[in-house]
Every structure is written in C-alpha cells, then in structure tokens.
C-alpha cells in the first residue's frame, strides 16, 4: 500500500523544513504513584530497550499532547525520547527521502497515514497490548495498530455561527450563502470523500459537493490541526469536515468551537508503526505497546483523542455514543484507490 507519488514529492518540498524536534509547553500528565508498575512494560524486553538508550518518534500529534505522553514513557523506562512533530504529509515525505538516502533516522511513526507507507518501510510486530484494542484498529498484516479513533465531522466557531443555523444534512450546506468564503476543508480529506461517495452514491455526492463549492467557495487548506485552530480562532467560521479529536482538542483548550454530526461519519485511525530499519527496535516495540496501553490511551484523552480501548472513557464521555448513532463508514484503502479519490477531490474543490 504505497503513499501517492504526488504527496511524497509535495511533502519532500514542504515538509523537511517544517518538521522540528519539539521542546514546548505541554499538557499536564498523570504520573504513576511511586513504585507503581506499568501494565505496558514488557519485563523481558525492558533491559534490551534500556541498553539501546534512545527512541526517536515521528508524529503528527501536536507537541502539547505528544511531549507529556512521551514524558510518561521516559519516566517509566529511563529511555530518552526525541519527538519530531510535523504534518502527516510532511512526515511521509521526510521518511521517503531518508529511506532513499539509507538514513536510519527514526524508530516509531505515529500518524493517520502509516498504512499508506510502502510495506517494506515497516516491520510486522506483535505487541501484548494490541489484544485490548478494538479489532478494526489492528492491521491484518500487523504493520500498524490504531492508537486513537479518527472520526470525521463538520465543525464550527460558536461565536460566529449559532447552533440553530447548523445544516441538518450536507444537502443543506449550499443554502448557507452567508458563510461564503468562511468555510474551509483540508485538501487531503480522501477518506471523508470516500465515505460521501459510499453513503450518497458517487453521482449524488458529487452534485451535493459541487453545489456547496458554488455557493460557499470553501478554502482548501493544508493541515487538520491548523484548520481546527483556525476555526477556533474565527479565521474560518465552519470546517466542512475535520477530525473530531482535533476540534475537541481546541474546545478543551477553551476555544469557541464544537462539532455537529452529519451522515456519513468517516472513520479511520491514528496509527503507530515501527521502522523496518529502526536504530532502536526494542525501544520502538516498547513504545508502540505503551501507546496502546490503558495508561497511554488515558493520557491521550486529556486533549480529546478518542480511545481504541473499551476500558478507557472518552473525553467527553458521550462522544462515541453520539457518533455511533450516525452512519459510520470505516475506511482503509490502497494507493490506486487513493489516487483516484485525490483526483476527484481536486476536481470538485478546484477554484472556480
């Protein structure tokens, strides 16, 4: 399952400068009580992982979430982590360039696009905590596992749009002409487009979306977190679609933003994978196990990530129940399908 060549090249041009090793202010963490053992630590693996001494993580999770998460890992294991954060697209491009240069730079990758990497970039692995995540979040080839559920829905700024104004279906969007120029969408939302095609049928979905484009002239942006922040800041009033966890990330931080749920709800996963050329493979396996653990999942919910374990309560607690009342379409598709969807997205959302 290969990531599209266009995305790799675009990321290579834009992403290397954007990725950075982060040391920024972060969310509070929940430290274990003194002497408390961690369920995710694999006793027979820990000495070898400590002997490797380090772990490099490439992740699209923002620093305010990622740094406290991996601080828990450091405190429990004594293994120093290096956290490199950038967008999914930029990280995929960076990984491709480093692979061609035969650089062994990273151990663990965590983005929504791990499954789109060439399969020989990733090693198959078994982690004890994987048995506790929902079946849909386990790749059949064992090269990635889901660490949070990435549901999709529209989002809005509550200062500029009132709840009573919200469309009750995607067909109604085109009627909100007062939003023209204040609506945005991420240009990589192929999973959402696939869900729209599956739910409405491709012909009808295209008409609905073209009507929206004609009436509202949505701005196509790059970066789901940047989009969530822009809606919370009021730069855009509405996201035609975005990742639910990122909207809640901004809401939990005090931003005037919220989701409203329409059919269909696209679902895929934030995934973790291990480099087949990892310089620290034992530490990488321990790190992947940590991300799937109850402790790791609980930490991620602090910023609105939706867990993939039944024994971890989401934040807010009712969000999965609300989402599951709608038509949820889970997606994972091959490169040739994605290329077709990329072309369709560009055709529908191209400026007019």
Q: Looking at the predicted structure, is the pLDDT value of residue 324 above 80?
A: yes
Percent of the chain with pLDDT over 70: 88
Q: How far is Cα 99 from Cα 85, in angstroms, rounded to an integer?
A: 18
Handedness of CA 230, 145, 296, 69 (dihedral sign): negative
Q: What are phi and psi of 70, to 5 degrees?
A: -80, -15
Nearest to 310 by CA among 286, 334, 295, 294: 294
Percent of the chain with pLDDT over 90: 82
181-200 pLDDT per residue, tens: 999 999 999 999 999 999 99
Q: Which residues contact 198 (CB under 8 A, 6 or more apart)?
A: 264, 329
Q: Degrees (nearest 5) of the Cα angle 317, 320, 326?
A: 140
State pTM to two decimals. 0.81
| Encoded tokens for 47 | 């000495």
Task: Give the bridge partners for 146, in sequence order.
Answer: 271
Question: Averaged over 35-64, what is the pLDDT?
Answer: 91
In this prediction, residue 352 carries a pLDDT of 63
263-275 pLDDT per residue, tens: 999 999 999 999 9
Length of the chain: 352
| 279 and 250 Cβ atoms separated by less than 8 Å | no
| 307 and 148 Cβ atoms separated by less than 8 Å | yes
pLDDT-derived band at 79, boundaries 50, 70, 90: very high
Q: How far is Cα 114 from Cα 273, in angstroms, rounded to an integer?
A: 6
Dmax of the chain from CA atoms? 62
282-321 pLDDT per residue, tens: 999 999 999 999 999 999 999 899 999 999 999 999 999 9
| 57 and 82 Cβ atoms separated by less than 8 Å | yes
Q: Degrees (nearest 5) of the Cα angle 82, 80, 67?
A: 50
Question: Averaged over 104-125, what is the pLDDT?
Answer: 95
Handedness of CA 76, 82, 86, 89 (dihedral sign): negative
Q: Which residues contact 351 (CB under 8 A, 6 or more apart)?
A: none
């Amino acid at each position: 399952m290969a990531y599209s060549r266009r995305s790799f090249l675009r990321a290579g041009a834009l992403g290397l400068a954007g990725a950075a090793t982060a040391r920024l202010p972060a969310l509070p963490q929940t430290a274990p009580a003194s002497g408390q053992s961690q369920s995710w630590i694999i006793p027979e693996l820990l000495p070898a992982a400590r002997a490797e001494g380090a772990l490099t993580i490439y992740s699209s999770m923002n620093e305010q979430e990622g740094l406290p998460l991996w601080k828990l890992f450091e405190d429990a294991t004594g293994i120093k982590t290096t956290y490199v954060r950038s967008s999914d697209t930029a990280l995929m491009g960076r990984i491709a360039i480093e692979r061609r240069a035969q650089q062994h730079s990273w151990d663990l990758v965590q983005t929504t696009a791990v499954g789109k990497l060439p399969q020989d970039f990733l090693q198959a692995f078994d982690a004890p905590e994987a048995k506790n995540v929902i079946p849909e979040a386990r790749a059949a080839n064992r090269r990635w596992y889901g660490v949070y559920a990435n549901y999709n829905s529209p989002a809005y700024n509550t200062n500029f749009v009132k709840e009573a104004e919200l469309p009750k279906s995607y067909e109604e969007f085109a009627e909100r002409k007062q939003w023209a120029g204040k609506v945005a969408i991420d240009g990589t939302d192929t999973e959402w487009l696939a869900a729209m095609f599956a739910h409405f049928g491709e012909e009808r979905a295209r008409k609905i979306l073209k009507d929206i484009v004609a009436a509202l002239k949505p701005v196509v942006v790059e970066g789901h977190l940047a989009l969530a922040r822009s809606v919370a800041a009021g730069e855009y009033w509405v996201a035609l679609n975005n990742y639910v966890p990122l909207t809640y990330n901004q809401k939990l931080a005090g931003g005037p933003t919220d989701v409203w749920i329409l059919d269909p709800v696209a679902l895929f996963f934030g995934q973790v994978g291990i480099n087949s050329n990892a310089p620290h493979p034992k530490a990488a396996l321990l790190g992947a196990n940590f991300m799937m653990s109850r402790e790791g999942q609980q930490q991620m919910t602090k910023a609105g990530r939706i867990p993939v374990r039944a024994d971890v309560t989401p934040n807010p607690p009712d969000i999965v129940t609300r989402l599951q009342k709608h038509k949820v379409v889970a997606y994972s598709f091959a490169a040739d399908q994605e290329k077709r969807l990329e072309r369709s997205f560009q055709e529908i959302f191209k400026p007019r």
